[in-house]
Structure 1
Amino acid sequence: MNPAVQNMVISLGVMQIARKISFEDPDILLYTRIGYVTVQVIVLGLYYYISMAIKSKNDQTVLKYVDAPSAMTQEPGQLVTTTVRDYDLSETSKLLRSVYMGIAMMGFLHGYMGYTQPLFVQGIMGLKGVYEAVPIKVHLLGQKAEGDLKRPWKAAGGMFGAAAGGPQTDNAAITEAEKRVGGSKKDE
């Protein structure tokens, strides 16, 4: 199943369960808060551990790919030359930023607006996010970086299965991007 559709189905299912829970009860609200904070601490701890594992492996294998072009411009994608270590750290950093944004949104929704159901829903979705995170699969679960897990990792497809045009790793695209980079330097 498409991950975006799967997220929506799980979110809707968890929201239906959350509607049945009486969050007016102080004990239930306390346990919901504790559960949410526990999940966030676990997620942040796992990503920190993954970052340490990536740094300890220190894989300096060169990784070249052509980044996906922006949908807003007509410009072609940029050539990216990095190492496996730096790439994995940047992807883990993106996951950390998304967790921090979720915590900030929850702080606003629960702390300022007083909504309690999102605490329950985001606690469950946080665990699902860890389950789907590619760095977790590669560095914690020990799956080989082959197939869908081959670097550079593809972005999850959109709602109707249309991916945002992931990075290109074929030699033709890399050679073309190198020519563009080399040509622009000569022109200056």
Structure 2
Amino acid sequence: MNNPAVSNLIISLGAMQVARRIPMDDPQTVNYLRIGYVASQAISLAIYYYITLKIRKRNDLTVLKYVNPAPPMNPDAKPELVQTTVKDYDLAEVGKAIKSLFVSLAFMAFLHGYLKYTQPLFIQGLMGLKSTLESNPAKLHLWGKKAEGDLARPFKAGGGLLESLTGKASGPQTDAASIKAAEKAGGKSE
């Protein structure tokens, strides 16, 4: 399963079938689900912490230049030139992943704590750990894959709704012409 969307769908559907067989009205089972969910989130945080340690140990100070496109909803904004190092870029990506993990945790606290849904605890416990292990920083620093193709920095964002409607790529641009144009425009950032 090379496509994460397909594997996410298969795991979600399989987890839903398994979750139907779990007695969600039993308080002891719900406690086990809570413990499992919190444990999977803690494991994900530990994995990201380990990746952060590996990034800092490697200390790759190779300069990375790219141009972030202007926001599509702001016609006055200009593309922004970003000049950073591979180390700082990877640390920023891990930071984004950790922030996403905490947003997911808050959402699950709302779903389970306020709305009293228990089935998502089981499914999101699996999916959160899966997405951590399949993240780009994990592929590079945990699984030791080469930074080429889809793993070349800066990472290409998955196609969103706006991109599919307009047909324009909204990811960072790394070609020399885009970088030169952004340098002339004075859109530097670090």
Alignment TM-score > 0.5, same fold: yes
Could you tell me which residue of structure 1 aligns to residue 51 of structure 2? 50
Could you tell me which residue of structure 1 aligns to residue 133 of structure 2? 131
For residues 73 and 32 of structure 2, the distance between their equivalents in structure 1, rounded to whole angstroms, comes to 44
Could you tell me which residue of structure 2 aligns to residue 37 of structure 1? 38
Gaps of 5+ in 1: none
For residues 69 and 4 of structure 1, the distance between their equivalents in structure 2, rounded to whole angstroms, comes to 27
For residues 68 and 11 of structure 1, the distance between their equivalents in structure 2, rounded to whole angstroms, comes to 34
| Paired residues, number | 183
What SS class does the counterpart of residue 151 from structure 1 fall into? Answer: coil
Listed as ranges, the matches of 1:13-162 within 5 Å are 13-74=14-75, 75-158=77-160, 162=164
Deviations 1:51-76 (A, max 9, x none): 11111111111100001321212334
Preserved CA contact (<8 Å) 1:43 1:126: yes
Gaps of 5+ in 2: none
TM-score (norm 2): 0.86
Could you tell me which residue of structure 2 aligns to residue 178 of structure 1? 183
Preserved CA contact (<8 Å) 2:163 2:169: no
TM-score (norm 1): 0.86
Query: Residues 23, 40 of structure 1: CA spacing in aligned structure 2 closer, same or farther, 3 A cutoff?
Result: same
Query: Residues 50, 147 of structure 1: CA spacing in aligned structure 2 closer, same or farther, 3 A cutoff?
Result: same
Identity value in percent: 55
Matched, 1:166 2:167: no
* 1:115 CA displacement: 1.1
Give the letter for the 2:27 counterpart: P
Preserved CA contact (<8 Å) 1:47 1:96: yes
Deviations 1:65-100 (A, max 9, x none): 001321212334210001111100000000000001
* 1:6 CA displacement: 5.0
